[in-house]
Structure 1
Amino acid sequence: MSRIVYVNGAYVPEEEAMVSVFDRGFLFADGIYEVTAVVDGKICEWDGHIGRLERSLGEIGMSMPMSAEELLEVHREMVKRNNLEEGAIYLQVTRGAADRDFVMPEGLDQTVVLFTQAKKLTGAKSGLRVISVPDIRWGRRDIKTVQLLAASLVKTEAKKKGKDDAWMVEDGFVTEGSSNNTYIVTKEGKIITRNLSNSILPGITRKSVLRIVEELDMEIEERPFTIEEAQNAAEAFMTAATSFVTPVIEVDGVELNGGTPGPVSKRLGEVYIEESRKASC
């Protein structure tokens, strides 16, 4: 049975889901998206995702398409209609459809689309092997726009080389993974992750993990780090909305922790999933 997709107020089979060829999301990547995890049929980290959605929309001169409460009900209805126990809900809001023009028109009816993806999110993780690549993205990576061509290119490059992901590097320092925030753990046990700025996305999972780190009395330092530092680290990991805390076991051919997930990433992953289950809505 096909999925049920939400398009501009209607719940329709995915085969019938359509938007205009003049939609500015299609023509200009003029839109914002969020991906929210679903575990045990419940939505994770809702407040964080809806807050970031509103901020991102505001940064490109767009308003919320509906209230947070209304969007939550749409998400819950998508879970119900698709019998989603574990997976993700993708939400995209674009400026709407208009004849092609670089100048952003005002007063358009926004396009709002949601779809679900059933996938296994919880359970043991074997770890990722990553390569480093130049960061070729634009200068406002703190806005969660739909212009993901650069991320897609580097992720594909990693896959072609038999690896799992790519860490992007700018001015000698790691910014992010293709779709995740990055971390290393020094041999002294300190967790290091890049500080927030226009250079990286303010990850919702990142925020929760940093809170957990403080609650567990682990040491954290927010600053850029190099690939060489990562290769000399005790372990590394990444965080993202639907992969939670995932160990990184190799960086540019150098294995970390003997090529196995380290204890810090394992512990943080366990606590994060446990707390997410309790706080889901």
Structure 2
Amino acid sequence: MDRGFLFADGVYESIRTYNKKLFRLNDHLERLKRSLAEIKIDHNDFDSFQEIVYGLIEKNKIKDEALIYVQITRGSAFPRSHRFPQQKTNSTIYISATDLPLNKGNKINGIKVILHEDLRWLRCDIKSTSLLPAVLVNQKAKEAGAEEAILHRNGLITEGSHTNFFAVKDDMVYTAPLSNLILEGITRRVVLDLCDQMKTEVKEEHIKKDELNNFNEFFVTSTTKEITPVIQIDNWKINGRMLGSVTKNIQVAFKELTKTY
């Protein structure tokens, strides 16, 4: 049986289109290759990737924008063993192309999030298919009427369960520094580039959970959520649930970037 099914022995990427073009494809492939290298899966042949993906988009008759899901596992091996297979296996590659679900309301009105202890493993920089902790905490968020769970470890904010987390204070943007405890999101990278272009200062430093009330704006980022404002954390309604100006400016810059992509 496939080791991706048995052990979640694999990695994945989610890529979207803007104007029917794959957005930041090189960044996504770079991250995918890094994840593969970190778990020692030898697969570097992506020469036909674009052709396959655009073929899927056409075959599936996607009218607007597409969401591409890519998963690569170590492949099938017998007998079942936690160790790597003794003999070389062929990677299992799965690619899907579906209509991208758009929830513009959340980007305009903002979302509620909950805080939760980060119970994931210590290699969150690898985009692993082993997502059960994220599944469980997302269910908790849903049951609390929230869209996302913001995770903290040893009193420090790491990231969302499937997003990167940003905070704003005195027109300065804060986000956790890159480490093994967070994923380097592609949209996170874009936001940092936009802030640099806009002369908005960014500090990549840890945000203390107990000091969140010192900040006046928050937002989360991901491939599908883009830049989504956070207007409520647990029971705290931030600025009366009003969107902040820095977040709005970043949203506008991001929209301009993707509109001309």
Normalised to the residue count of structure 1, the TM-score between the two structures is: 0.87
Partner-residue secondary structure (3-state), 1:142:
coil
Q: Which amino acid in structure 1 is aligned with residue 228 of structure 2?
A: T
1:82-101 equivalences in 2 (<5 Å): 82-84=60-62, 85-99=64-78, 100-101=80-81
Question: 2:252 aligned to 267, 270, 276, which one?
Answer: 270
Matches of 1:215 and 1:40 in 2, distance apart? 23
Q: Which amino acid in structure 1 is aligned with residue 89 of structure 2?
A: L
Q: Which position in structure 1 is the counterpart of 2:84?
A: 104
Partner-residue secondary structure (3-state), 2:182:
coil
Matches of 2:252 and 2:190 in 1, distance apart? 13
Structure 1 residues 120 and 252: CA distance shift in structure 2, 3 A: same
Matches of 2:104 and 2:130 in 1, distance apart? 31
Q: Which amino acid in structure 1 is aligned with residue 34 of structure 2?
A: R
Q: Which position in structure 2 is the counterpart of 1:75?
A: 53
Question: 2:94 aligned to 113, 122, 127, which one?
Answer: 113
Shift of 1:178: 0.9
Structure 1 residues 39 and 121: CA distance shift in structure 2, 3 A: farther
Matches of 1:277 and 1:109 in 2, distance apart? 39
Q: Which position in structure 2 is the counterpart of 1:135?
A: 118
> Does structure 1 residue 37 correspond to structure 2 residue 20?
no
Structure 1 residues 141 and 43: CA distance shift in structure 2, 3 A: same
Deviations 1:15-70 (A, max 9, x none): xxxxxxx1111100100100001223221110110000000000000122522x31
Shift of 1:231: 3.0
Partner-residue secondary structure (3-state), 1:89:
strand
Normalised to the residue count of structure 2, the TM-score between the two structures is: 0.93
Cα contact 1:128–1:164 (8 A) shared by 2:
yes
> Does structure 1 residue 61 correspond to structure 2 residue 44?
no
Shift of 1:251: 1.1
Q: Which range moves more in the overlay, 28-37 or 256-265? A: 256-265
Question: 1:223 aligned to 190, 205, 230, which one?
Answer: 205
Matches of 2:128 and 2:43 in 1, distance apart? 14
Aligned residues: CA RMSD: 1.5
Cα contact 1:65–1:110 (8 A) shared by 2:
no
Question: 1:162 aligned to 142, 145, 160, which one?
Answer: 145
Structure 1 residues 30 and 38: CA distance shift in structure 2, 3 A: same
The alignment covers a number of residue pairs equal to 256
Q: Which position in structure 1 is the counterpart of 2:185?
A: 203
Matches of 1:211 and 1:171 in 2, distance apart? 29
Q: Which position in structure 2 is the counterpart of 1:10?
A: none
Cα contact 1:87–1:121 (8 A) shared by 2:
no
Question: 1:255 aligned to 237, 240, 247, which one?
Answer: 237
Cα contact 1:87–1:242 (8 A) shared by 2:
no
Cα contact 2:113–2:148 (8 A) shared by 1:
yes
Structure 1 residues 158 and 130: CA distance shift in structure 2, 3 A: same
Matches of 2:100 and 2:14 in 1, distance apart? 13
Matches of 2:49 and 2:239 in 1, distance apart? 43
Q: Which position in structure 1 is the counterpart of 2:2?
A: 23
Shift of 1:271: 1.5
Gapped regions of structure 2 (runs ≥ 5): none
Partner-residue secondary structure (3-state), 2:125:
coil
Q: Which position in structure 2 is the counterpart of 1:145?
A: 128
